[in-house]
Amino acid sequence: MHRVLLILLFLSGSVNLFAHPGVGIVMDKNGNLFYTDLTHVWMIKPDGSKSIAVPNVHTHELYIDKEGKLYGEHLWYNGEQLNTWGHYFWCRLANGEVKKVKDSTAGFPEWYSFTRDGNGNMYYVENEIPVNWWKIDTAGHRILLGSKSFSNVGRLHVSAKGDLYFNKGADLYWVPVGDSIQLFYKNAANASAHSIMHTWSDDRKNIYIATGNEIKKIDNSKFMISIYKSAGTWKPASGVIAANGDFWVLEYNDKNEVRVNKVSATDRKGIVKENAFRLYLAPVIITVGILSLLYFLLRKKK
């Protein structure tokens, strides 16, 4: 998947690093938040202090394991004259030490992924024709999960228990553990591979998608509601939910800037209730009011 995304990124004639924004934002068990701005990986501690956790790395995705080890990549372009690319993978230990887990290598990353379940298994997509979705277990064995002649396939997300999600344009698909590819949610929007910038989930099995200028939540009953909207030219790329329910959103804008916003658990509940009222209850109340008015007008005429 990296190969396809990066070809689209660089073959435009100029290296616009923000043509495909980073989506890496994770939190460790101590409440330290890590996110990428495609130049560094930053850390925000629970006290609000901010510092560079991993300097000078162009990484789109991040993964943090149960031990607090943070994993990412560094990707670079060698210029139009050579027209080649390179990469390496790195790991930041819980004590802050950063080391390479794969040496510098020519080309794009292949058969390696930061999409991992609770047991450390990787999930990888071969974005060819047809598209193949793979699970790579901790021993390195490759298990084919599904194959489809799809286009406009976006990034992967896997839940802790191993349910795999991906978007095809604006539609969200999933591969439940031990099952086949299924349509999870059909969305009436455009069909770009980046119609959904990123997908993630929480421990209550709610699914979140960053699409357009908002974040939408889809619950177990496939009920979708908008829970966050970015202001101005900002757009959400990804997000993470803290153990206390706080919602952290990774955003980018048309000036190549990156920031994170925090929405407290209390504020988030208020937003959900307000949007639910606007989207569902308000139209019902208005409809009932109109029907009641028509009823009384017709009775009066009689």
- pTM exceeds cut of 0.85: no
Residue pLDDT, tens place only, 129-171: 899 999 999 999 999 999 999 988 999 999 988 999 999 989 9
Residue pLDDT, tens place only, 10-24: 433 334 444 578 999
Residue pLDDT, tens place only, 228-255: 999 999 999 999 999 999 999 999 999 8
Residue 172: name the closest of 162, 163, 182 by CA.
182
- Cα–Cα distance measured from residue 38 to residue 151, given in angstroms and rounded to the nearest whole number: 26
Q: How confident is the model at residue 300 (pLDDT cuts 50, 70, 90)?
A: low
**Residue 206: predicted pLDDT:** 94
Q: Please, is 112 exposed, middle or buried when counting C-beta atoms within 10 Å of its C-beta (0-12, 13-18, 19+)? A: middle
E strands, 37-181, in order: 41-44, 50-54, 63-64, 70-77, 85-92, 98-106, 122-126, 131-136, 142-148, 153-158, 164-168, 171-175
Question: In what side-by-side order are the strands of the sheet with 131-136?
Answer: 122-126, 131-136, 142-148
Pairing assessment for the beta strands 122-126 and 131-136 based on DSSP bridges: antiparallel
Least confident of 135-149, 192-206, 265-279: 265-279
Q: Please, is 298 exposed, middle or buried when counting C-beta atoms within 10 Å of its C-beta (0-12, 13-18, 19+)? A: exposed
Instruction: Tell which wins on pLDDT, 192 or 257.
Output: 257
Assess whether pLDDT exceeds 70 at residue 2: no
